[in-house]
Structures are given as C-alpha cells and as structure tokens.
C-alpha cells in the first residue's frame, strides 16, 4: 500500500482508528489539537460512529475515556502537557484502577514553549503514576506505537502514555498503515470492584500496580522500540530518547555512528540495556528532548559512576528543544552555520487579527482603567493573552486555565480594587465556572470579562462548550442579573461600552461583562464555505 503523508498528530489519529478505538476525548491545545481534528474529518471514524466531540476540559475528557475503558472499549485521550495538570487527578488514580478496554493517554509536550507557558516533561508524570510510556521518534513509530499501545494496555490492564513533542506532532512524513481492527464489544471487567478506589481496595490495587513494574521493565528490555546499536568506539556511548535519536543520526548521514547507541522509546527505562552501555563504554552522553529524566537517574545523587554528559553538565543546553547542531557540538563534530541574521530584521510577534473583537474590548477596558492605574487586570490562556503586548499592555497575568477569575478574587480579598479578570468563552467553561462560583459565594468585588467570540480561537477555531450558554451559566451560579452586562465590542459602540465598564468597575460585588462578537477567523471560514 502506498504511504500516507501525515503529520505526527495525524498518524496517531489514524493509528488509533485502525486499532479499533470507540472514542477520542480531548480539549484543544497546541501541539495536540490536530489528532482530534483528523478523527473528526475521518470517514472511517464516521462509519464506525467513533466518539469524536471535544470535551469541556482535559479532566472531563480523561474521565469519559476511563468510563469507555470501564465498559470494555478502546479509548484515546489527547491533550497538551499542561492539560495533564488539569487531568492529574483521574490520571494518577486510573493507574491504580487500571484499564479494562485499551486506554491510551496522548500527551504532547512543547519544549522551547512555542505555544505554552512551561515546558514540563510528561515522562515524569508517567513515572510518578507508574505507567508505561511510548515515545516515538518519527511519524511511522507514532503510528506503530499508537496501534500497539491499546493491546499493551489491555495485556497489562494499565493506561499507557504516548508522549510526543511539538516537532513530531507538527511534522509530516510518509506513513504505512496497518489493517483496521474491529471495535471491542461492551464487556465489563471480571472484578466488579476494580474501579472502586475505597482505601481497602486501593491498597490492594496499588500493590498490584507495583508488582507490574518488573514485568513492564522486562517488556522495555525486549521491546523492538528500544534498540542497542553497537559501535566500535567505546570511548563513549550515546543514549537518546524519542526524537533526539533523529538529531543524533542527522550527524551520521551516509556513514555510521562510531559509538554504541541506545535508543530508548519505551519506558520504564530498560535498566539492563543501560547497564550494558555503562559497562562497555568509558563515558555516556544522554540526549533527551525535555527534562533530563534518564540522565538524572543514571547520574544518581552522588554522581559516583562513570562520567555522564548531557543537559546537567552543560554538554547540551539545560532547557529548550534539541536540534542536529546541538548534537553535533555535544559529539565534538564540526558545527555548521550560515550567516548572522541582519540587524534590520525586526521581531514579528503574533498579534490580534485585524477586526478582532478583543481589540475593541481592550480599548474600552484600558480607557476605563486609566483612573485606577496599572496592575489590576488578570487574564487567562487564549488569543486575548496577546493583550499583554503593545499596543494594548492591558493585562498583568496569565498563569493557567481559569486562573484570571480566582487570582482577581485573591487580589480583591487582599484589598486591590477594582480587581478585573479577562477570560475567553472556552476557557471559562474549561475552568472558570468554579472560580466564578467562589466569587459569588463571598460576593467578592470583582469585574469579570468573559470574551465571547463563539469559538476556541487560539487553537484554530474549535467548537466551544460555552456557545450560547454563558449568560445562563452566570445566572445559574448566582450572579445578579443586573450585573450581567452583554455588550457588542465594535468601534461604533465604544462610548456606550465604556460607560457600562465604568459602572461595573465601581460596583462592589460580582459583575460579569460579556463582550459578544464572533471571531473574525471563524467568520471568514464560514463565509468562504458558503
């Protein structure tokens, strides 16, 4: 069969469908978004009636998938690395319950923070939960590992993490497809207590999880995905994980790496293979895309063994993503470089689109805040985070999904008045609702802007759970109706909107302003479709 030209993300989506999943659960987040989008556009998914709607957030997504696994069917959950923080509760505990139908957690990390607020390495989370990880180095492996991960999950009755990073998620290459498997039938687990984590049960299941660890490590040692490639020069051995393998090999195109290479793409770490390398080589270089997980363990607290080079001793940078040039330097090879970027080349940061409704919201807010001074507006994660940049300079925080409202509450509790939150519609239903409830219960003086552009904008315009619901959600939470102010953010309404914002900033209780106008990008897409 001819190869399909797929993004890493798309390869994962196709493999999951071919592995017979019955559902994908996800919340959009770069660089994981394209997996769900691929499945949503797939004819195969439609024919198999595979669940493929977005969830409210990563926690609800993962819990739904655990429910599907409980019922005996295969489920894929997709999120970006910081989404796993939101889903940490079901994530950790599902390691204890274990899986019934194959359960795979796809976590897309973003080293170098191309579109994220941190570069946390999800392999640490998997180690924390004691679950196995597959970390593909290329698009074909992304396909093959996803395909295999469901059966692996069912064999050991454990959730499996698939970890990718931005470069693989968003890079295209040819991928060969395998045979499509049928979906599982509904089948409950034999032990009807498996998902009841009462302490008395959980203690038993936790010991079972610990007892699986040597078996999982044996799998890692024997795995076709973990390869020991011998080399003649034993002065150094090289351990590479995931995509770092490609950057190593880029330095040996048309020739062979003289050093023994251990490619690790399945975890727990295959200790036996690592031991062989340490025994046979004088030094070890470790190259990992992310935090130094393997390197730290190899070095140990006392660093008493053979010399280990990598991110911790400065052989490779301590942070950020790797590339072929960094590996060349670490290997002592000649680095290559073109010419410097001319000084006249100015930075071109992302910006709000021409005609974006957020521009009008920020213009009104900025003018209303003039009399109070800077530092009183808390914001959130989305396109409107760009309000932190010139010419707006409108916001003073962006920490995590939903934090704008609760940080404004805490600042208000501390006496900072007015305290303002700016949050998008999709972010509000992701994690802002409980924050607003906290404010309502104490009637904390805060002014909350919920920017309703009918979509999840930053990730490319996915459906938002908030659509048509925000006013009623606020009412239901107990926000006084006269302090729920819906405005239309347009230049021609500026004076009216400014007046409304000023009034609500003076109100000593919970008020919500909902600037409502469709995202210009989704509007444009709709118009071109017509």
Give contact residues for other proteins (rule: CB under 8 A). Answer: 5, 7, 30-31, 33-34, 114-115, 167-168, 170-174, 243, 246-247, 249-250, 253-254, 323-325, 328, 335-342, 344-353, 383, 386, 458-460
E-assigned strand segments in 260-413: 261-264, 266-267, 283-287, 308-309, 377-378
Task: Return the SS3 of 108.
Answer: strand
C-alpha angle 51-81-439 in degrees, rounded to nearest 5: 85
Shortest Å distance, C-beta 388 to other proteins: 12
Shortest Å distance, C-beta 34 to other proteins: 7
How far is Cα 518 from Cα 509, in angstroms, rounded to an integer?
29
Q: 326 or 448, CB closer to other proteins? A: 326
Tell me, letter by letter, the H, E, C secondary structure of 214-243.
Answer: HHHHHHHHHCCCCEEECCCCCCEEEEEECC
Shortest Å distance, C-beta 375 to other proteins: 24
How far is Cα 76 from Cα 451, in angstroms, rounded to an integer?
31
Shortest Å distance, C-beta 426 to other proteins: 15
Q: 302 or 339, CB closer to other proteins? A: 339
Shortest Å distance, C-beta 29 to other proteins: 9
Helix or strand run (H / E) with residue 106: strand 103-109
Shortest Å distance, C-beta 31 to other proteins: 7
Shortest Å distance, C-beta 348 to other proteins: 4
- For residue 524 the two structure tokens come to 């444009």
Q: 242 or 445, CB closer to other proteins? A: 242
Q: 270 or 382, CB closer to other proteins? A: 382
Query: Which value, in Å, is the radius of gyration of the alpha carbons in the chain?
Result: 25
- Integer CA distances (angstroms), 381 to 94, 350, 435, in order: 27, 14, 15
How far is Cα 393 from Cα 410, in angstroms, rounded to an integer?
22
Of 57, 281, 76, the C-alpha closest to 164 is 76
Of 412, 427, 383, the C-alpha closest to 511 is 412
Shortest Å distance, C-beta 331 to other proteins: 13
E-assigned strand segments in 342-414: 377-378
Q: 175 or 298, CB closer to other proteins? A: 175
Shortest Å distance, C-beta 478 to other proteins: 35
Q: 97 or 166, CB closer to other proteins? A: 166
Q: 8 or 98, CB closer to other proteins? A: 8
Buried b (16+ CB within 10 A) or exposed e, 423-452: bbbbbbbbbbbebbebbbeeebbbbbbbbb
How far is Cα 487 from Cα 500, in angstroms, rounded to an integer?
8
Q: 7 or 377, CB closer to other proteins? A: 7
Q: 389 or 437, CB closer to other proteins? A: 389
Shortest Å distance, C-beta 371 to other proteins: 27
Q: 103 or 108, CB closer to other proteins? A: 108
50 touches 39 (CB < 8 A): yes
Q: 221 or 351, CB closer to other proteins? A: 351
How far is Cα 487 from Cα 451, in angstroms, rounded to an integer?
10
Burial of 355 from C-beta contacts in 10 A (0-12 / 13-18 / 19+): middle
Q: 74 or 167, CB closer to other proteins? A: 167
| DSSP code of residue 414 | T
Q: 35 or 216, CB closer to other proteins? A: 35
- Integer CA distances (angstroms), 318 to 302, 309, 426, 464, in order: 19, 12, 34, 37
How far is Cα 222 from Cα 210, in angstroms, rounded to an integer?
20
161 touches 122 (CB < 8 A): yes
Shortest Å distance, C-beta 1 to other proteins: 14
Shortest Å distance, C-beta 87 to other proteins: 20
| DSSP code of residue 387 | G
Shortest Å distance, C-beta 20 to other proteins: 28
22 touches 73 (CB < 8 A): yes
> Which sign does the torsion angle of CA 92, 269, 20, 192 carry?
negative
Omega into 268 within 30° of 0, i.e. cis?
yes
| DSSP code of residue 290 | S
Q: 199 or 349, CB closer to other proteins? A: 349
Shortest Å distance, C-beta 80 to other proteins: 10
């Amino acid at each position: 069969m001819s190869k399909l030209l797929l993004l890493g993300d798309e390869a994962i989506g196709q493999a999951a469908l071919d592995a017979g999943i019955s559902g994908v659960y996800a919340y959009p987040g770069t660089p994981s978004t394209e997996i769900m989008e691929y499945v949503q556009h797939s004819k195969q998914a439609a024919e198999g009636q595979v669940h493929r709607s977005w969830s409210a957030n990563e926690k609800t997504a993962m819990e739904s998938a655990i429910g599907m696994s409980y019922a005996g069917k295969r489920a894929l959950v997709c999120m970006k690395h910081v989404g796993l923080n939101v889903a940490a509760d079901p994530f950790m505990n599902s390691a204890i319950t274990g899986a019934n139908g194959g359960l795979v957690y796809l976590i897309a990390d973003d080293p170098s923070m191309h579109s994220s607020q941190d570069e946390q390495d999800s392999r640490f989370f998997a180690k924390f939960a004691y679950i196995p990880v597959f970390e593909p180095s290329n698009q074909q492996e992304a396909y093959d590992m996803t395909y295999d991960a469901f059966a692996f999950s069912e064999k050991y009755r454990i959730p499996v993490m698939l970890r990718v990073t931005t470069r693989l998620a968003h890079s295209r290459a040819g991928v060969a497809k395998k045979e499509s498997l049928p979906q599982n039938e509904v089948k409950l687990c034999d032990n009807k207590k498996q998902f009841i984590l009462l302490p008395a049960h959980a203690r038993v299941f936790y010991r079972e999880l610990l007892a699986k660890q040597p078996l999982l490590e044996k799998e890692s040692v024997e795995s076709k995905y973990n390869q020991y490639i011998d080399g003649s020069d034993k002065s150094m051995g090289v351990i590479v994980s995931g995509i770092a393998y490609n950057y190593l090999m880029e330095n040996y195109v048309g020739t062979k790496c003289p050093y023994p290479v251990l490619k690790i793409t399945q975890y727990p770490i295959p200790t036996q293979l690592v031991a062989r390398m340490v025994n046979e080589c004088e030094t070890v270089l470790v190259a990992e895309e992310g935090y130094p997980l393997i390197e730290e363990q190899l070095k140990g607290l006392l660093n008493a063994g053979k010399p280990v080079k990598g991110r911790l001793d400065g052989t490779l940078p301590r942070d950020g993503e790797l590339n072929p040039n960094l590996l060349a330097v670490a290997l002592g090879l000649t680095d290559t470089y073109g010419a410097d970027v001319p000084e006249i080349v100015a930075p071109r940061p992302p910006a709000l689109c021409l005609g974006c409704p957020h521009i009008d919201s920020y213009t009104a807010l900025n003018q209303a805040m003039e009399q109070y001074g800077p530092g009183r507006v808390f914001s959130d994660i989305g396109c409107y985070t760009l309000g932190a940049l010139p010419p707006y300079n409108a916001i003073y925080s962006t920490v995590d999904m939903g934090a704008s409202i609760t940080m404004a509450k805490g600042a208000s509790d501390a006496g900072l008045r007015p305290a303002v939150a700016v949050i998008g519609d999709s972010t509000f239903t992701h994690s802002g609702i409980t924050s607003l409830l906290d404010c309502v219960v104490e009637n904390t003086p805060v002014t909350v802007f919920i920017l309703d552009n009918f979509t999840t904008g930053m990730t490319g315009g996915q459906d938002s759970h908030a659509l048509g619901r925000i006013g009623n959600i606020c009412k239901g939470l107990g926000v006084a109706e006269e302090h729920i102010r819906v405005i239309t953010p347009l230049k021609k309404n500026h004076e009216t909107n400014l007046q409304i914002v000023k009034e609500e900033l003076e109100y000593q209780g919970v008020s919500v302003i909902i600037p409502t106008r469709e995202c210009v990008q989704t509007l444009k897409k709709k118009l071109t479709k017509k």
